[in-house]
Structure 1
Amino acid sequence: MTPTRRLLAALAAAAALTVATPGLAGADAVRNADWALDALHAQTAWRTSQGAGVTVAVLDTGVDATHPDLTGQVLAGKDEVGFGAKRGDSAWARHGTGMAAIIAGHGHGYGDGSGVMGIAPKARILPVRVILEDKDPQRAKARASRGDALPNGIRWAVDHGADVINLSLGDDSATAAPVAAEDDAIRYALSKGVVVVASAGNGGEAADRSSYPAAYPGVIAVAAVDRNGVHAGFSTSRWYASVAAPGVDVVIADPDRSYYTGWGTSAASAYVSGAAALIRSAYPKLSPAQIKQVLQSTTRHRPKGGRNDQVGTGLIDPAAALAAARKLKPQPAVPVPVAYASRYFAPGPAPAPAPADHAQLLGDGVAAACAAAGAALVVAAGLLWFRRRTA
């Protein structure tokens, strides 16, 4: 195993939360419960852009391309794991399908009036399987043999047409450290003009340690808020927070054709990835840094002083961001300079000591092994959500 190999793991803490909530069995109930699109002024944003022509790579547990809310939207992807649960298994593609529908769901049925409508309903989804669901019986095997799936998946997505990369996953265990291969892959994506979005972490009610990949330079790190625009208690509060998006009681599509409400910074990240797709569709020459800046500068519920560690600059407003983006002169897509007090990695392949700790994640996901004075650090990472069954 190479020193920078990231292992695939899962945290039992986020095994399914299955408190039944009646009322989402019908199509109208699903749409009525989906408050996030109204909060994001989606109808106004769609007058300018619905994400047409943009590809969003969803690096996750896989995506069900046959889900009625996603048919015709999902491209042929890549499985960087190569084994684990298959279609029909209870541990197959649940998280990834939910995130893909938040980004690019188009609904189904008469007038597409049933199911989940994504924030960028005309965007395409490029699925890249880099992690296994928390209940997948092959987790241990993946942990031992597929540690480089995440950085490889990022590079593959960039080389196969991704315009935006969604990372609804993260690593914020107490022993975690940044991984050079991941940092390099993200810098590669940014240098190619690809926007990278990641979950801020679900450690807000624990240690509030920093989460990777959210804390890497250039990433749009997304915190979660409720329907009132208030910071969700579980959402990690750290210096790297860029913006916030809905992450409490949001509607989740599942491969089993049921719908759930769930919470976590995973969902928040997916909404911001969809918003980035709207901007990239309307203004394809804007750089990743410009798209990040315009999302940050047009937020609502802005905190005192303009930003804080809980929500960054506040709740995204895609309609306002699109209006502001129209005034920008495109800049070259260049790697974003490190803007932090110290670099993560010294020159050469060996990681330098991490400048910050890392937050506890909830979910199934990845773990990392870094070399430090000849010893490997193994860290846990995960998908940043809990789910509550609603239908």
Structure 2
Amino acid sequence: MTSPRRVHGPGPSVSDGATAPIPAPAPSAASAPRPSRGRAGRAARRLLAAAGAVLVAVTGAPPAHADAARSLDWALGALHAQQAWRTTQGAGVTVAVLDTGVDATHPDLTGQVLAGKDEVGFGAERGDSAWARHGTGMAAIIAGHGHGPGDGSGVLGIAPKARILPVRVILEDKDPQRAKARTSRGDALPAGIRWAVDHGADVINLSLGDDSATAAPVAAEDDAIQYALGKGVVVVASAGNGGDQADRSSYPAAYPGVIAVAAVDRYGRHAPFSTSRWYSSVAAPGDDVVIADPNRKYYTGWGTSAASAYVSGAAALIRSASPHLSPLQVKQVLQSTTRFRPQGGRSDDLGTGMIDPAAALAAARRLAPGPVVPAPVAYPQRFFAPGPTPAPRPPDRAQVLGDGVAAWCAAAGGLLVVLAGVLWSRSFRTRAPQPPAGAPAGGVDRADRVPGWR
């Protein structure tokens, strides 16, 4: 079965993640160009007003010395990134980005991107407008290190020292070959997952999915994810962007063991577009976030894709500091340390709330390593209800009398039967008819035998 996979936003080439370009940096707020109109423009104006506080929290530098992209990046402040980086920045961890490809030459990613794999084999190429835009944006959210003096410009990822392993499994929405890929490369995702596992991935980010009306689990994908989890690889996926439409389940987010990520805005509220379903694990920033693009421009966009990338980066931090934790333990520690927890501790909108990487790192240090594949837990209840108790059978005579008495009775009964047989035989022989008169001596002819004779 071929799945109509699509990226879950954001990115300038993604139809379900509206974006707006970030204006060029200005020497002062008074002379700064006005951001574009619309939803993203209003968010940009709000963020420009608060850029100083966010910037100091994230970079410790004065606002005038950073570009607009860094100034608008509110997500790292909301995730307490600086506090988490006192423990680790993700060194030694590889995050596989299964997406539309990654531009390894982007200034925010130079030196971070490993040699990857193209499971599609055709479509747009480097230099085309529909090449690697979404995947590059996700990679920068995970492991971007910025650029320029002091790396003070561009996108800074949540795990800036992690490595990126790119695996191309889908094409951009505007790629002319996308329709062909959807019908002929249905096995690209499971093949890409297995390849990433076999080539050193510690975390797999899946900012993609199928949440169409015909969405359904695919055995090959589920098997590949279970293969990854069984090898100790954490799997993270976007929950879907159908929240303001039908809230249908999205795969791979709904497969067992996956950390399914919903999106929140800068106030920690559920983003209206974010799918609300039973499988939501946690939430992360996904509204008006800063996206790096291969064209060397930056955009603000929305989508659970970005939220998934932030959680993959957080998982990389945990794996860097506590490398022996199992995928289940990484998932549990992220879920147990969230902020903005919903009433009751969990909801379909937010899972257990917005991740807090610093708190998760602290909790992870207190955990003893667990088995990669947890042992099955016995079910405490009866699966089948007990039936009626049968009536007791009456004991047989041998059980009542005991073995010795029963044996004596059996022997005596047998003796009586033998004795009766002897007496009956003698009586019968006495009454037996005699040969007819005139019969030859020595017996009778066979035809003249009488019943009872031998």
TM-score range, shorter chain: 0.7 to 0.9
Does the C-alpha gap of structure 1 residues 17 and 89 become closer, same or farther in structure 2, counting only changes over 3 Å?
A: same
Instruction: Tell me: CA distance 1:251–1:287, structure 2 relative to 1, closer, same or farther (3 Å).
Output: same
Q: What amino acid sits opposite 2:258 in the alignment? A: V
**Counterpart residue identity of residue 186, structure 1:** I
Task: Name 1:223's counterpart in structure 2.
Answer: 262
Query: Are residue 14 (structure 1) and residue 15 (structure 2) matched?
Result: yes
| TM-score, length basis structure 1 | 0.82
Q: Greater strand share, 1 or 2?
A: 1
Query: What amino acid does structure 1 have at the position aligned with 2:100?
Result: T
Distance 1:155 1:306 in 2: 34
Mapped pair 1:128 → 2:129: no
Change in CA separation of 1:167 and 1:18 when aligned onto 2, cut-off 3 Å: closer
2:95 corresponds in structure 1 to 56
Q: Which has the larger radius of gyration?
A: 2
Larger helix proportion, structure 1 or 2?
A: 2
In the alignment, does 2:65 pair up with 1:31?
no
Aligned-pair identity in percent equals 83
CA RMSD of aligned residues (A): 2.0
1:162 is aligned, of 194, 201, 223, to 201
1:226–1:248: 8 Å Cα contact kept in structure 2?
Answer: yes
Partners of 1:315 and 1:158 lie apart in 2 by: 27
1:272 aligns with 2:311: yes
- The residue type equivalent to 1:203 in the other structure is G
Question: What is the alpha-carbon distance in structure 2 between the residues aligned to residue 117 and residue 101 of structure 1?
Answer: 7
Matches within 5 A, 1:21-170: 22=23, 27-170=66-209
TM-score for the superposition, normalised by structure 2: 0.71
Q: What CA distance in whole angstroms lies between the structure 2 residues aligned with 1:210 and 1:159? A: 29
Give the direction of change, closer, same or farther, for the CA distance of 1:302–1:40 in structure 2 (3 Å limit). same
Corresponding pairs, count: 335
2:276 is matched with which residue? 237
Aligned mate of 1:295, from 334, 348, 360: 334
User: What is the CA-CA distance between 1:143 and the residue it aligns to?
Assistant: 2.2
Structure 2 CA distance, aligned partners of 1:195 and 1:13? 26
Deviation, 1:42, is 0.3
Query: In the alignment, is residue 207 of structure 1 matched against residue 246 of structure 2?
Result: yes
1:284 aligns with 2:323: yes
In 2, Cα distance between equivalents of 1:139 and 1:25? 39
Q: Which has the higher contact order (CA 8 A, sep 6+)?
A: 1
State the 1:190 CA deviation.
Answer: 0.2
The one-letter amino acid of 1:308's match is S
**Matched residues in 2 for 1:15 and 1:90: separation?**
18
In 2, the alpha carbon distance for the partners of 1:236 and 1:18 equals 19
State how far apart, in whole Å, the 2-side matches of 1:334 and 1:218 are.
Answer: 10
SS in 1 for 2:170: coil
Query: 1:175 Cα deviation (Å)?
Result: 1.1
Residue-by-residue CA offset, 1:257-288 (whole Å, 9 max, x unaligned): 00000000000000000000000000000000
User: Which ranges of 4 or more aligned residues in structure 1 deviate by more than 6 Å?
Assistant: 9-13, 335-338
Q: Is the 8 A contact 2:209 2:252 kept in 1?
A: yes
Amino acid at match of 1:312: G
Question: Which whole-Å CA distance do the structure 2 matches of 1:307 and 1:257 have between them?
Answer: 39
Q: 1:84–1:8: structure 2 CA closer, same or farther, 3 Å change rule?
A: farther
The 8 Å contact of residues 7 and 148 in structure 1, kept in 2 or not, is answered as no
Stretches of structure 1 that go unaligned for 5 or more consecutive residues are 339-391
Task: Tell me whether 1:193 sits opposite 2:194 in the alignment.
Answer: no
CA distance in 2, matches of 1:240, 1:272: 15
Structure 2: 5+ residue stretches without partners: 28-65, 378-454
Q: Is the 8 A contact 2:97 2:139 kept in 1?
A: yes
